[in-house]
Amino acid sequence: MKKFFKIYPFITVLVLMTLIFGLLSPTFLDPGNLTNILKQTSLLGFVALGMCFVLIGGGLDLSVGSIVALSSVLIAGLSATLPPIVGIHIALLAGILIGVVNGYFVTAFNFQPIIVTLSTMAIVRGIAMAYSDSRPIFGTLPDELFLLADGVILGLPVPAILFFFAGAVSILFLRYTDVGRQIYQVGGNEEAARLAGINVARVKILTYGISGFLSAFAGLMLVARMQSGEAVRTGIGWELDAIAAAAIGGVSLMGGIGTVVGTLCGALIIGMMANAFNLLGINPYWQRIVIGIVLAIAVASYSSKNLRNLIKRFSSSQTKVN
């Protein structure tokens, strides 16, 4: 058990935060509140899961929040004139297309991911605002769609079930498929992966496509909950939360290292933090400060680990020379 928590320290953090918030707020551990946390976390969780793929592959995607916004207005807007299933498919395909475009420009022109996805973030947000005229869209949505937000199966909310199912599929994909293992190889050492015969461009484009799809699916979940689509405020800051969730769960911002389980726990930690801050009456802006600090610690921790490894290698090489 001790070895388990040493390998997965984020689980220890998750358990400790649950106990601490439970002591600070009597209502935190109420079944109704825990269900609400799972519902809230599932939205960020899908985006964080997509970010996990991109980060492991050595990339970065800042367009995820804008894709969520575009997906929400497309589904709500198109459902007014077309069958809802058509709008859903168009929104999901749009998310995939945006991800593929991100991956193409990163790989084909060797552009920095932060520049490409920052540009896409602005463009996609602008398209969503133009389509919706910067106003909420209340579409004619079927009752079945609302089950995605309010349905319950075996005592668990449907959004949480879908979130954990997506996580399970992602674990199997990354761990037991050739392409999944190639994502780790590309993120760990892109040049070595290329020399090993791996199609680096294809792998990277795939990770961005997955990220776009999962972000668009989060937009679908949001429409089911809000019964409307909105482009101005939807998804603002979600890219930071998604990166933080992955980093908290041990995903390296430098690529090649990380697990889906860690990302799921990271998303739960952020969701619990937001819920506890609300229950305790703490200004939500403090949450942004805490997330920023967590990101700084994650980067510093990984950088220091790299520095120690370089020092060890240098020391061992000097010993061999002497």
Task: Please report which confidence band the pLDDT of residue 314 belongs to, taking 50, 70 and 90 as the band edges.
Answer: very low
Q: Structure tokens of 261?
A: 């389980």
What are 154-176's pLDDT values in tens digits? 888 898 999 999 999 999 999 99
- Report helix, strand or coil for 140: coil
Listed range (52-61, 95-104, 144-153, 291-300) with the worst mean pLDDT: 291-300
Question: How are the residues of the chain apportioned to helix, strand and coil, as percentages rounded to the nearest 5?
Answer: 75, 0, 20
152-153 vs 156-157, strand pairing mode: antiparallel
Q: What is the mean pLDDT of residues 64-68?
A: 96
Q: Which domains are delineated in the chain?
A: 28-283 (1.10.3470)
With 90 as the cut, is the pLDDT of residue 17 above it? no
Q: What is the mean pLDDT of residues 269-298?
A: 80
With 70 as the cut, is the pLDDT of residue 252 above it? yes
The torsion angles phi and psi of 280, rounded to 5 degrees, stand at -85, 0
* 141 or 187, higher pLDDT: 187
* 254 or 92, higher pLDDT: 92
Listed range (23-32, 104-113, 263-272, 280-289) with the worst mean pLDDT: 280-289
Q: Structure tokens of 5?
A: 């928590």
* 25 or 106, higher pLDDT: 106
Q: What is the mean pLDDT of residues 91-115?
A: 96
> What pLDDT was estimated at residue 277?
85
With 90 as the cut, is the pLDDT of residue 310 above it? no
* 5 or 80, higher pLDDT: 80
Task: Please report which confidence band the pLDDT of residue 309 belongs to, taking 50, 70 and 90 as the band edges.
Answer: low
Mean pLDDT across the chain:
86
Beta carbons within 8 Å of 142's beta carbon, 6+ residues apart: 84
Amino acid residing at 61:
D
What are 75-91's pLDDT values in tens digits? 999 988 888 889 899 99
pTM for this prediction? 0.88
* 1 or 88, higher pLDDT: 88
> What pLDDT was estimated at residue 54?
97
Q: Structure tokens of 17?
A: 């935060």
Listed range (123-132, 265-274, 277-286) with the worst mean pLDDT: 277-286
